[in-house]
Amino acid sequence: MDEDKSPGRTVTIYDIARIAGVSPSTVSRALTRPGRLSPKTEERVRDAATRLNYHANPMARALPTGKTSMIGLIVSDVTNPVFFDLVHGVESAARRDGYTLLLTNTDESMSVESVSARQLSRVADGLLLVSSRLNDTDIAQIAQSKPTVLVNRELDGVRSVVVDAEYGIGEAIRYIAGLGHTSLLYLPGPERSWMSEHRWECIQQKAAWARIQARRGPSHAPTIDGGREAAAYVREQGPSVVFAYNDLMAIGLMQELAVAGISTPQDMSLIGFDDIFGSDFTTPALTTIASPLFDAGQLAFQRIRAMLDGQPGIETAPPLSTRLIVRGSTGPRHA
Amino acid sequence: MDEDKSPGRTVTIYDIARIAGVSPSTVSRALTRPGRLSPKTEERVRDAATRLNYHANPMARALPTGKTSMIGLIVSDVTNPVFFDLVHGVESAARRDGYTLLLTNTDESMSVESVSARQLSRVADGLLLVSSRLNDTDIAQIAQSKPTVLVNRELDGVRSVVVDAEYGIGEAIRYIAGLGHTSLLYLPGPERSWMSEHRWECIQQKAAWARIQARRGPSHAPTIDGGREAAAYVREQGPSVVFAYNDLMAIGLMQELAVAGISTPQDMSLIGFDDIFGSDFTTPALTTIASPLFDAGQLAFQRIRAMLDGQPGIETAPPLSTRLIVRGSTGPRHA
DNA sequence: CTGAAAGCGCTTACAG
DNA sequence: CTGAAAGCGCTTACAG
C-alpha cells in the first residue's frame, strides 16, 4: 500500500496501472468506455482510481482527441440584465452535460469580439455567439472553423436560436389597438443589431394588419442612457405609444419623460422588450414583451451539443415564443 | 510556396519549421520567448507564422508547462445582479492579461460548488470563489491544491478580496442617527454567508458607538422573495429603520410592506447593500451601501495573477471601500 | 544561437 | 480482452 505516498504529485493513469496491475492503455479504456473490458479488470481499475482519487487531466485528454468539453460563450455586455437568464440557461445545460463554459465579454466591441472568437475557437469545442455585432462574413468564417450557434441573430448556413418576436408583438399591437391607439413610434437599438431590425419588421407587419401607423426613430444605445437620450426626439414627435428596442431604453425614456413632466401612461404609453430584472420596479411598472431567455440558453447549448455529436441539422425547434406582459406603463389613448 | 495547401488541417510548429527552414524547437523559442534567438531567425519564424496564420494550440502548450491561462470563476448565482459588475471586473482584467474565464454557477448549492471547484481546479491555473458557501475546511483544501482567491469572504491562510463594509456602514449609522432614529433591525441573509455576518458585526459596532440599539432578525434567502418573507416578522417588530442584508431583500421587503399599507420612508426607513442594478427604479428609490464591485473583480484577478507569478503575498491592498448612497427610502423618525 | 531528444498525460489503431 | 507502440502539439533541458 503505497498509494498515498508523495501527496503533492498529481496521479496519472500510470499510477493506477501500477496499483491495478494492468497496462496504462487498459486503464484508459476502463475509464473512458466501460463495458469493453472484462468486468473484473474494469472493477480493479475503478477501485484503484477511486482510491487514488484520480481525475483525468483534461488537457492531456484533449490533445489526442481534439475535444476539450468546453464551450465558448461570447456576450456583448455581461452587465446587461438581458443576458443573465440566458447565461444561466447555457451554463446549467452545459454543466449537466459535463461541459464547462468559457465566458468572454466584448464590451460591445466588434474587434474584441472578433479576436475573442478566434481565441476561444482554438480551445473550445464549439462557440455560442450571443447578439453578435460581427459582419455576416466574419461569422460565416468563424462558423466554418468551429461548430457555432448564434443567439438572437440569423444567418444562412449557421444554426441559431432566435426567440420568436412575432407572437408577443402581435399581442401588444392588438392590445394597444384595443386601447384606442392609432399610431406608434419604434425606438431602435444599435445599428448593428439584427434583433432590433427583426423587431421593427414584426412591428410594421402587425401594425399594418391592425391599421396602426408605425414610424421608427433614430438608433440609440440599448441602455438606460440610450433611452434618456431618445427623450428629446420622442417629445418632439409626441406619439401616443412608444415601443422601445428593450426595457433598458424604455426605462431610461420613462425617467427622462417624467423629468420633463410627461407622465406614463397618461400622456404616453411605453412598451419595452425582454422583461429584464427590475422592469417591474419602476413606477409605473413597465409593460413589456418577455422572452424565454433561460430556455433560449438551454436550447442554444443543446444545438451546439447536437452539432458536436454529429446529429442532423433538421432538429425541430421547440417554440421559443415571446409574450406580452401588461403592467402599468400602457393605457388608453388620451383624448 | 505550398503554405496554403490542405486548408482544413490546423497549422502546427512543424509547418512553420518547414517553411522557415528551422527546427520545431526553434519555432517554439521564437514564439514563446523572443530575444533569445538571432534576430534574423526570429523574424523568419515570425513571418512564416503570420503567413500561415498560426495560433498555438493551448492544450498542447498546457501539457508540458502545466499552465492553461485559464481562471475558474465560481459564483453562487449568475442571475443575481450583485455579481454582474464583479464578473465584469474579473473578465476585463483577465482578458487584458490574456487569460480566459471558466465560469461556473452553483445555484447556491454547496455540493455543486464543491464538485465544480474540483473540476475547474484540474484545468484552471487558479480559482476565484465568490461568496463561497463551502466550509472553511473545504476551502482550505481547495486552496492548497490550486492558487485560490476568495471574494467577499475571509479565511486564514487564503488570500481574499473583501469590500470593507465598515466605512459605508459608519456613514449610514451616522446618517440615521442624525435623522433621530435610536434603534435598528438587521435582516440577515443566508446562514452560511460570511458577508452577512460581517455586516452584522460592523453594524453592531457602529451602532454601539452611536448609541443606537441594534437587533437582528432571522435569516432569509438573499432574494426579493426572501425580503418579502421577512415582512411579517418586520411588521411584528415594527422597527423605525431596517438594514437588509442586500438590496434584493430590501426591495422585496419594501414591496410587501407597501402591500400591507406601511409606507417607506414615512412609516419605516429601509437601507440595502450593494446598489444593484434597478435599486434606483423603486419608489421610493432605495438608500443603499454601495460596493465597488467592478474594482473588486479586477483586484481579485490581480491577486490570482500575483500568486501565479509567484509574487510575495504582502501586496498592499488598495482600499475597496463601501459608501452610503442616500435616496428616498430613508427619512426622519416619525413621532 | 540552434538542433535532436525526451517528455507532458492521455487515446487509439494495431497486434496478439 | 489486453498490451506495446505511436502520436496528439507543444516545451525545455541537454548538447554542440
Q: Give residue A8's pLDDT band: very low, low, confident or very high (50, 70, 90).
A: low
Task: Give the per-residue pLDDT at A5.
Answer: 39
Stretch A40-50: mean pLDDT, rounded? 88
Distance CA A280, CA A261 (A): 21
Task: Give the per-residue pLDDT at B26.
Answer: 92
Kindly state whether A160 is in contact with chain B, defined as any CB-CB distance less than 8 angstroms.
no
Stretch A27-43: mean pLDDT, rounded? 83
Nearest to A187 by CA among A278, A262, A273: A273
Q: Give residue A7's pLDDT band: very low, low, confident or very high (50, 70, 90).
A: very low
Residue % of chain A over a pLDDT of 90? 72
What are the respective helix, strand and coil percentages of chain A, to the nearest 5? Answer: 45, 15, 40
Q: Is the pLDDT of residue A103 over 60?
A: yes
Beta bridge partners of A183: A213
Distance CA A54, CA B20 (A): 42
Q: Give residue A316's pLDDT band: very low, low, confident or very high (50, 70, 90).
A: low
CB A187 within 8 A of CB A273: no
Q: Give residue A34's pLDDT band: very low, low, confident or very high (50, 70, 90).
A: confident
CB B219 within 8 A of CB B230: no
Task: Give the per-residue pLDDT at B335.
Answer: 55
The protein residue nearest D11 (Cα–C1') is: B64
Q: Record the cell numbers describing residue A123, joined without a space.
A: 480551445
- Give the distance, in angstroms, between the CA of residue B67 and the centroid of all CA atoms in the same chain: 23
Sheet of strand B269-274: strand arrangement: B213-216, B183-187, B241-244, B269-274, B287-290, B323-325
Residue indicated by cell numbers 482550505: B140
CB A47 within 8 A of CB B110: no
Task: Give the per-residue pLDDT at B316.
Answer: 58
For chain B, list residues with pLDDT below 70.
1-8, 312-318, 335
Task: Give the per-residue pLDDT at B182.
Answer: 96
Task: Give the per-residue pLDDT at A310.
Answer: 78
Residues in B 265-304 with any Cβ partner in A closer than 8 A? 277-278, 281-283
CB A105 within 8 A of CB B91: yes
Q: Which of A141, A281, A286, A327 to mutate to test the interface with B (most CBs of B within 10 A)?
A: A281
Q: Is the pLDDT of residue A301 over 70?
A: yes
Q: Please list every residue in chain A whose beta carbon sits closer than 8 Å to the beta carbon of residue B248.
A: none
User: Tens of pLDDT along A122-171?
Assistant: 999 999 999 898 999 999 999 988 999 999 888 999 999 998 899 999 99
Q: Please list every residue in chain A whose beta carbon sits closer than 8 Å to the beta carbon of residue B81.
A: 81, 84, 277-278
User: Tens of pLDDT along A230-270?
Assistant: 999 999 999 999 999 999 999 999 999 999 999 999 999 99
Whether A123 sits inside 8 A of B282 (CB atoms) is: no
Q: Record the cell numbers describing residue A267, joined without a space.
A: 400622456
Task: Give the per-residue pLDDT at A4.
Answer: 39
Entry field: residues in chain B: 335
Q: Is the pLDDT of residue A12 over 70?
A: yes
Nearest to B83 by CA among A97, A277, A74: A277
User: pTM, whole model, 2 decimals?
Assistant: 0.88
Sheet of strand B70-75: strand arrangement: A159-161, A148-151, A126-130, A70-75, A100-105, B100-105, B70-75, B126-130, B148-151, B159-161
Q: Is the pLDDT of residue A3 over 50?
A: no
Task: Give the per-residue pLDDT at B4.
Answer: 39
Whether B251 sits inside 8 A of A281 (CB atoms) is: yes
Burial class (CB in 10 A: 0-12, 13-18, 19+), B59: buried
What are the respective helix, strand and coil percentages of chain B, to the nearest 5? Answer: 45, 15, 40
Q: Please list every residue in chain B whose beta carbon sits closer than 8 Å to the beta carbon of residue A87.
A: 78, 103
CB B100 within 8 A of CB B89: no
Nearest to B262 by CA among B179, B171, B334: B334
Q: For A106, what's the count of Cα atoms within 13 Å in the CB-facing half-sphere?
A: 25
User: Tens of pLDDT along B107-143?
Assistant: 888 999 999 998 899 999 999 999 898 999 999 999 9
Higher pLDDT, B316 or A50: A50
Beta bridge partners of B161: B151
Output the CA–CA distances (angstroms, integers) from residue A102 to B91, B129, B187, in the order listed: 11, 16, 36
Residue % of chain A over a pLDDT of 70? 95
Q: Give residue A334's pLDDT band: very low, low, confident or very high (50, 70, 90).
A: confident
Mean pLDDT, chain A, integer: 90
Distance CA A287, CA A267 (A): 15
